[in-house]
Amino acid sequence: MPMKKSLKITVILSSILLGLVLMIIIFISPISKYLIEKYSEAYTGRKIRMEELSINIFNGSITTKGLIVYEAKSKHPFFKADTFNLNIAVYKLWVDKYEITSVELSNPYLQVVQKGNKFNYDDLMNRFFAEDTTKKVDKEPVKYWARNIQVNNATILYTNTKPSTNIKLIKGSVQIPLIAWDDPIYKIQTAFDLSTGGRSKALLHFNTNTFDYKAKIDIDQLSIDFLYPYLKDYMKVKSLKGLINTNLWLTGNANQPTAIALSGSIKANNFAIVDATNELLTAIDETNVLIDTINTAKNRYNFRSISMDHPFFRLSMYDKGFNYERIMTTPLAMSGDTSSTVYSMCS
């Protein structure tokens, strides 16, 4: 009799435990969604909302739909994405290995706002990327892999208050085949269109140990209209037009942003500046620049050739100076730099 009673209790407890496990499996998605939305502001400083969250603990898939991250203490979206998919190799968790087999972000939208030297993401940088002053204990490194990272059809809107600027990148894509604990080299491929016209592609190799990088940058028919607000700070002009094409190789170090080495070609078409009186100030049908080497650290600027087709410059003399002096909004000054700089033209 006692054995039957003990067996009965075991069956009941096992049934309860199994029921709890099944409940967790069934309701883990809505529970997780509720907890994320409820405590997101406390842990991230931003409200996070999503239309749907799906978690499958058996195959390690996590999917969100209608994800929105709001501006700090605001109802305006900072980041949105139609879908976010993440897949984890669950079986490797048992041996303390963390492998993300794929990451896909579809139709994300990011708004970057600059006011002076402050950005709308500064609070996130301070919260999550502030320097860690705690004493680090030597221990075995965490073994992680993130494979097949993809961002599709991204939109980034950059807004600056001074000068008043709105630059919109559309149809953006990012591909990173691997981020791993034992491989410091990240290979990143990006592409985007500018809403005002043109397309850019880049292939970047970045060393996370040394911060050295090398990049190949291709620009196709990129309109320079977006530079007009910056030109207005220096010249009283009505418009800036032109199309840029490049095929460039760039190397440098992220810790020394002004020390770069550059080679390749730059081509500009239909360049034109119209002054405030609606007169054409300068125009060039086509400019071609072939660069053998530009090395700012060594002050070397070697150009194979520079050519211009049908250049036009309007120079008007007045009783008090000429037209270029009238359109300048800041005085020209000599730099006073007496460093040795080498310029050369190769035939």
DSSP E strands, 137-234:
143-160, 165-180, 185-194, 199-207, 212-223
d(CA 202, CA 216): 6
Report which of 279, 212, 222 is spatially closest to residue 245, judged by C-alpha positions: 222
d(CA 269, CA 267): 7
The answer to whether the beta carbons of residues 280 and 312 sit under 8 Å apart is yes
Alpha carbon of residue 326 to chain centroid: 39
| Confidence at 51, pLDDT banded by 50, 70, 90 | very high
Alpha carbon of residue 75 to chain centroid: 24
- Spatial neighbors of 137 by CB under 8 A, at least 6 apart, are none
Helix (H, G, I), strand (E, B) or coil at 161: coil
- Spatial neighbors of 262 by CB under 8 A, at least 6 apart, are 248, 249, 250, 291, 293, 294, 295
The answer to whether the beta carbons of residues 208 and 184 sit under 8 Å apart is yes
Longest dimension (CA), the chain: 119
The pLDDT value recorded for residue 335 is 40
Q: What is the pTM of this model?
A: 0.80
| Residue that has been written with the tokens 């069934």 in this structure | 26
Helix (H, G, I), strand (E, B) or coil at 117: coil
Partners of residue 318 on adjacent β-strands: 321
On the question of pLDDT at 247 being above 70, the answer is: yes
The pLDDT value recorded for residue 344 is 41
On the question of pLDDT at 221 being above 60, the answer is: yes
- In the chain, where are the structural domains located? 19-123+142-182, 184-347
On the question of pLDDT at 340 being above 70, the answer is: no
| Confidence at 331, pLDDT banded by 50, 70, 90 | very low
On the question of pLDDT at 53 being above 60, the answer is: yes
- Spatial neighbors of 217 by CB under 8 A, at least 6 apart, are 200, 201, 202, 246, 247, 248, 249, 250
The pLDDT value recorded for residue 336 is 41
State the first-to-last Cα distance of the chain, in angstroms, to the nearest integer.
105
The pLDDT value recorded for residue 108 is 96
d(CA 104, CA 61): 11
Q: Which amino acid is at 192?
A: F
228: tokens are 């007009």
The pLDDT value recorded for residue 31 is 87
On the question of pLDDT at 342 being above 50, the answer is: no
Question: What mean pLDDT is predicted for residues 282-291?
Answer: 94
Q: Is the dihedral of CA 26, 27, 29, 32 positive or negative?
A: negative
Q: How much of the chain, in percent, has pLDDT values that exceed 70?
A: 86
Report which of 309, 311, 266, 270 is spatially closest to residue 289, judged by C-alpha positions: 266
Q: Is the dihedral of CA 83, 87, 88, 91 positive or negative?
A: positive
DSSP letter at 141 equals P
